Amino acid sequence: MSKAILMLEDGTCFEGLSAGYEGETFGEIVFNTSMMGYQEILTDPSYKGQIVNMTYTQIGNYGYNIDDAESEKPQAEGFVMKEMSKISSNFRSEGTLAEYFKKHKIIAIEGIDTRMLTRHIRNNGAQKSMISTTDFNKKTLLEKVKASRSIVGLDLAKEVTTKKEYVWDKTHGMKVMQIMEHEDKYLKIMENNKKLKVVAFDCGIKYNILRIFADLNCEVTVVPASTSAARILELKPDGIFISNGPGDPQGVPYVAQTINNLLGKKPIFGICFGHQFLALGLGGKTYKMKFGHRGANHPVMDMQTKKIDITVQNHGFAVDAESFKKCKYKVNITHLNLNDKTVEGLEAPELKAYSVQYHPEASAGPHDAKHVFKKFVESMSK
């Protein structure tokens, strides 16, 4: 195996081994605390512009398969591991992780102390970085990193959004997630009512969100992030969904403006990036976090019921709760992260608009957060 170097913007350097495609790649270095789900992470469009460091020590033991992808191709700029499995042991596996990296030209590094790297990110914050398997001159590598783009203020949504409208066909997905099983009230809504029409802003939408909507008897039209409010209403939706996505929401002002133009006209539901866009559309603000939340083990409290959901998270920006004090609409903070008290959910009741910062479709609980989809279906049904 050949040599590889991970260089951070502050000059911190890690030497390891190349675990994927040969070359150089740039992105903001972040860490994810999940023990599994590496393929979902790699293909999540929210990781566009980022190099992902996995804190768990062994990655790749169950290989890869096409059914677990969250988009049509890997989106992360690079991957960092302590140790990559050389074999894949799973009846669904279609090959090893190394084969997957090379097939999709993903540059990866293994053999470094990923927990030390995680501690460094926690102490010093997420920052620009690069992986190189071709240039090992630390001085030139540092110059390249400093000259690379920052995700702050950058419109990454335009790099991952769909180029044209399409109606989601659930056969595109692997198998539909039966989140409504054994719950008669909602099964009745699905069986007796016509299909509910959802228009989904694709800011980097994940397939499992679309699978769940299909399972809930929704017909989903996915539209580019730049779609106008007039076009959205022309499609005559029962509800509007704002998807997850990568980077800084303030770098994508046109989505927030469109949401502002749609407030009060249809029920609106946002997840992650969509949560931040709803906040901006309501007149709130967002800010960059020191190292963000990424993993499958974040406790979130519902402020009304005081129940705790174990959630999947993937975001480096957050909503400023104080910014709603001067908002012309009544905005309630509905959920809080118990690790750092950041905003995890909000609602504007008079506008039938609400959102969550975490990823309910990612099944961390595994069913802790399914109620947020039910709420949207109920709102549209009424």
Burial of 260 (C-beta count, 10 Å sphere; 0-12/13-18/19+): middle
Q: Are strands 13-18 and 3-8 parallel, antiparallel or unpaired?
A: antiparallel
CA distance 305 to 334: 10
Q: Return the sign of the alpha-carbon dihedral for residues 243, 248, 253, 254.
A: negative
Catalytic residue among 120, 275, 335, 359: 359
Instruction: Please confirm, yes or no, whether 272 is among the known catalytic residues.
Output: yes
Catalytic site residue from 28, 77, 272, 335: 272
In this structure, are residues 88 and 100 in contact, taking their beta carbons and an 8 Å threshold? no
Cα first-last separation, the chain: 60
246 near 160, Cβ under 8 Å? yes
CB 333 within 8 A of CB 346: yes
Burial class (CB in 10 A: 0-12, 13-18, 19+), 283: middle
Q: Is 361 a catalytic residue?
A: yes
CB 131 within 8 A of CB 6: yes
CA 280/CA 263 separation, integer angstroms: 12
> How many whole angstroms separate alpha carbon 361 and alpha carbon 204?
14
Catalytic residue among 9, 40, 77, 361: 361
Q: Which residues of 240-254 are buried (b: 16+ CB within 10 A; e: fewer)?
A: bbbbbbbbbbbbbee
Residue 339, both tokens: 């690790």
Q: Detail the DSSP E strand segments found in the chain.
A: 3-8, 13-18, 24-32, 50-54, 58-59, 78-80, 83-84, 107-110, 127-132, 166-167, 196-202, 218-224, 239-242, 268-271, 285-302, 308-320, 332-337, 343-348, 353-356
Question: Are the CB atoms for 46 and 67 separated by under 8 Å?
Answer: no
Find, among 200, 194, 137, the residue nearest to 166 by Cα: 200
Catalytic positions, written as ranges: 272, 359, 361
